[in-house]
Amino acid sequence: MPPELTKETEYYQCGTEPSTANKTGEWRFLTPEKGRKLSPCRQSCLLEGEIPLWLEAVKKDKWKEAWQIMSLYNPFPALTGHVCFHPCIENCNRGQLDQEIDIQAIERAIGEWRLANYERLVKLKEAKGRIAIVGSGPAGLSCAYYLNEAGYAVTVYERSKLIGGMLALGIPDYRLPRKVLQKELALLQEEGIKFVAGCTIGKDLKLTELYDQYLQVFVATGAWFSRKSAIPGEESRGVWNALDFLSMINSGQVPAATDPVVVIGGGNAAVDSARSALRMNGVNNVTLIYRRSKVEMPADPQEVEAAEREGVELIFNALPRKIEKKGEVIRAVLLDHCKTSLEGLTVDCSRAFRKNCGTVIMAIGQEADLSVFGNMEKPTTLFAGGDLISGPATVPEAIRSGRLAAAGIRAKIEGLPETEPVSAEENPVLFSELNLKSKINLELQQRQADPSAEAGRCLGCGSCTSCGICYIFCPDLAVDQIDGRYQLNPDYCKGCGICVKECPSQALIMKGGR
Amino acid sequence: MKIDELNRESEMIYSGHNACPGCGAALAVRYLTRALGTNLAVVLTASCWSIIAGMPPFTALKCPVLHCPFPSAGSVGSGLKRGLNAKGLQDTTVIVLAGDGGTFDIGLQSLSGAAQRNEDYIFVCYDNEAYMNTGMQSSSATPYGALTNTAPYPLFKEGQKKDIMQIMAAHGIPYAATATVAFPEDMEEKLKKAKEISGFRFIHILSPCPPGWGTESSDTIHLSRLAVATGFFPLYEVRNGVNWKMTVPTDEKRIPLNDYLSGQRRFKKMDEPRRQILQKEIDRDWESLMKRVNNSK
Ligand SMILES: Cc1cc2nc3c(=O)[nH]c(=O)nc-3n(C[C@H](O)[C@H](O)[C@H](O)COP(=O)(O)OP(=O)(O)OC[C@H]3O[C@@H](n4cnc5c(N)ncnc54)[C@H](O)[C@@H]3O)c2cc1C
Ligand SMILES: Cc1ncc(C[n+]2csc(CCOP(=O)(O)OP(=O)(O)O)c2C)c(N)n1
Ligand code: SF4
Ligand code: SF4
Ligand code: SF4
Ligand SMILES: [Mg+2]
């Protein structure tokens, strides 16, 4: 308010009423609007998570909100926070300024917050119907989570005694602490999801029986069939396939292993087997043999690096010809040199060499095992996902597939529209498109240990970070600050477009008309 | 400037004012009044701001405003401050707000007089480089080579922009500074400093004017930033007329002036030789400024 001028004031009083009565927004013929564009992190996120939005919530210490945004795409941040290979970080625009945002560390922090601050969902008195899920890997769990949240009674059937699929049986506990997985599973049970462990569908129960008993079925049995190499000696005792080997270790058993151990393969299962073997009593020498070069390894480079650091010997460009035995005891693997070229793999059989060993672990790939379907006739609609459909992929992709299946199942039952996934064609906001010149107080900064401070480094490529620049540069004070968020005020915005141009994050777009 | 501390209450102007979309002058006054706090009185000369401030009964400023005749800003400011002092209202900060016309040209004599007497107030010139409110006539602040309505094509503004800062510094006033809208923190800091000093203080603010300069209304900040980066409008302060100091360092290697000129319709028809002349002028002024700055160290 203008100061009160009294009758005694000696000068002529002109304006005493605030000009806010003057709705200058009427002058406008273009209107700025928050238009979220795709960020590179989100574009590369395997489950399409709204990364900049939950980073923004963490920055403000709004953990509940962060969890809510997160869980729209990923109900298990505590799990992906450990095991996702985070392509989001590799593509983070901030890397071109100083250092990429540690997106995964913040994701994990949201997951930990959720595990510590779990609140039971408010549920309908009566479930909307019963759903069966076959396979308790990340795909099955994610589908179970979303259908349960939507009010269905969900039962998960699992062949193994352990729940969690590869999370429980494949991925070693030094990469995914089992306490985290147990807590996550306990919450799902708390939510009312039923688990039937040790029940193989296709054997103990037929899939058709599930179709009879349930409104809908989601099949996510993974890719558990281990490929064979067909080399002599592969069927010997002392030769393991990686999944059996890891499953035993992960269920607390001790697979027989005689030093030295050779692992054949270049994927994550190979690296995990090698690192797990090295942790066993009596094993001191582990060699991983891969037929291509290091850069061609499908395994996560950080995992390979960790294996090397721990002392796993790596041999590249070598192809096993034979597993040699003395009586029943494995002695060595006979290897040929080989190299990859455009034509494929060329093997040089003239210079074979021997790697002595007592145990061989074969990790040369997995495939889907279709025995779950038995000789069942095709149902009218079949919902299936995860590794079963995609072939060996990743945990986040399995979670995404479970989420989409849940939406599909709901759409089918309830006649709802299916959610639209982000289209991969949309171009993400480039680093060069960000208007960092306008970012007052921008300082070069390396990663921060505190999640909120680290989230505060996010440049919000294409979405609002509540930086306040639009507020600062608006000549008409037409940007309102409501609860720490900035919002354009249509009463006074004259449509000059300064905010659109200056927004460091390119979070605003100009729309025609008022 | 802490963004969390900003809110509508800390602002000294209201929405609904009459400035054109994207007006740099509106923004300049928004920043400077916020920096000075609530105990403020403003003297306005005839200019865009006399319109922006609103028609009675409306006002865009949250403080008393005194409109005054065009050439008299310097004297009216002196009178108002002395009057307030006489009434025991010493704490009120008085600012005079004038355009470049009201400062460089028609107001220069009363301004010079007030500065010479070291009157105790802040004189702010928001410089949009022409008489904008009456339709873009050239002033002595209009840069060489620009088109105005008194120098329409094929004419162009002759003579170089008057160096008002050297004129003011020559008065030996305690504080003088330049500022512009792309650097609100710098502007705010300077006004806060000015407020703490008594005697005559002069602030020269470059304020982009979209209709007058023929620019996109959205380019106001961008242009203001370019003006600094090219050295066209360096940001500095002068104490006691002798102590020159840069406040926002511009790279030794300034970007070419053309980057600043190219987005503006008033320079669109400027030919290459003239652009060279203007660039040389800027280079020479820059060097002489650097000398003054270095001599002050
Ligand atoms: C060793 C290893 C390490 C990996 N590490 C990572 C990693 O760090 N990060 C990452 O993102 N991805 C990793 N992956 C890949 C990831 O684990 C899988 O892509 C993911 O688990 C697939 O999920 P899913 O739900 O489709 O299948 P799975 O996780 O394989 O789950 C399928 C479940 O179905 C059960 N099942 C199978 N048949 C039946 C049946 N007939 N009846 C009932 N139940 C059945 C299985 O026992 C299993 O529990 C790794 C894979 C392996 C093998
Ligand atoms: C003595 C006098 N002469 C002329 C005018 C008309 N007039 C009003 S505003 C204005 C232009 C002022 O130019 P400037 O000081 O640069 O401010 P701007 O309008 O550009 O903001 C003029 C010439 C007047 N009001 N009084
Ligand atoms: S700066 Fe933020 S929004 Fe941009 S890519 Fe990185 S995490 Fe994503
Ligand atoms: S300028 Fe900042 S607060 Fe405004 S829309 Fe852009 S990111 Fe959000
Ligand atoms: S003419 Fe220029 S200075 Fe005057 S109100 Fe419009 S934009 Fe602002
Ligand atoms: Mg002017």
CB A429 within 8 A of CB A37: yes
> Given this model, what pLDDT does residue A395 score?
97
A75 and A197 in a single domain? The answer is no
Report residue A432 as tokens.
């060069």
d(CA A208, CA B270): 82
- Distance from A437 to chain B by nearest Cα, in Å? 9
Over residues A424-448, mean pLDDT: 86
**Residue A1, domain member (yes or no):** no
**Across the interface, do B61 and A17 touch by the CB < 8 Å criterion?**
no
Give burial (CB, 10 Å; 0-12/13-18/19+) of A124: exposed
Q: What is the pLDDT of residues B174-198, one digit of tens each?
A: 999 999 999 999 999 999 999 999 9
pLDDT of A234 above 70: yes
A157 and A255 in a single domain? The answer is no
d(CA B122, CA B73): 11
Residue A319 lies in domain: 226-365
The CATH number covering residue A379 comes to: 3.50.50.60
How does residue A305 score in pLDDT terms, banded at 50, 70 and 90? very high
CB B266 within 8 A of CB B155: no
> Given this model, what pLDDT does residue A15 score?
63
What CATH superfamily is the domain B3-296? Thiamin diphosphate (ThDP)-binding fold, Pyr/PP domains (3.40.50.970)
CB A288 within 8 A of CB A313: yes
Of the candidates A37, A159, A53, the residue with the CA atom closest to the CA atom of residue A106:
A53
Residues with a CB atom less than 6 Å from ligand 1: A 83-85, 134-140, 157-160, 165-166, 170-171, 200-202, 220-222, 224, 246, 268-269, 272, 372, 386-388, 392-396, 398
Give burial (CB, 10 Å; 0-12/13-18/19+) of B85: middle
A108 and A170 in a single domain? The answer is no
A46 and A31 in a single domain? The answer is no
Here the ipTM equals 0.96
**Across the interface, do B58 and A18 touch by the CB < 8 Å criterion?**
yes
**Residue A285, domain member (yes or no):** yes
Helix ranges, A442-493 (H): 451-455, 469-473
d(CA A195, CA A176): 21
**Across the interface, do B217 and A473 touch by the CB < 8 Å criterion?**
no
Over residues A448-461, mean pLDDT: 96
> Given this model, what pLDDT does residue A484 score?
82
**What is chain A's mean pLDDT, rounded?**
92
Residues in chain A: 514
CB atoms within 10 A of CB A17: 15
A280 and A357 in a single domain? The answer is yes
d(CA B48, CA B130): 11
d(CA A54, CA A61): 10
Pick from B16, B53, B57: CB nearest A492: B16
CB A267 within 8 A of CB A298: yes
> Given this model, what pLDDT does residue A254 score?
93
A233 and A330 in a single domain? The answer is yes
d(CA A30, CA B127): 28
pLDDT of A272 above 60: yes
Q: How many domains does chain A have?
A: 4
- Three-point CA angle A119, A60, A475, nearest 5°: 140
**Across the interface, do B64 and A2 touch by the CB < 8 Å criterion?**
yes
Report residue A465 as tokens.
């970070």
**Residue A2, domain member (yes or no):** no
**Residue A421, domain member (yes or no):** no
Angle between helices B24-36 and B184-196 (to 10 degrees): 40
CB B84 within 8 A of CB B41: yes
Angle between helices A395-414 and A138-149 (to 10 degrees): 40
pLDDT of B1 above 80: no
The CATH number covering residue A17 comes to: 3.30.70.20
3-state secondary structure of B42: strand
A260 and A310 in a single domain? The answer is yes
A92 and A195 in a single domain? The answer is no
A351 and A274 in a single domain? The answer is yes
**Residue A125, domain member (yes or no):** no
pLDDT of B135 above 60: yes
A267 and A342 in a single domain? The answer is yes
Question: Bigger pLDDT: A416 or A221?
Answer: A221
A247 and A137 in a single domain? The answer is no
- Ion ligand 6 — residues with CB < 5 Å: B 99-100, 128, 132
Minimum CA distance residue for ligand 4 atom 5: A464
In the beta sheet, which residues pair with residue A354?
Answer: A334
CB atoms within 10 A of CB B196: 9
A355 and A375 in a single domain? The answer is no
In the beta sheet, which residues pair with residue A131?
Answer: A154, A216
How does residue A481 score in pLDDT terms, banded at 50, 70 and 90? confident
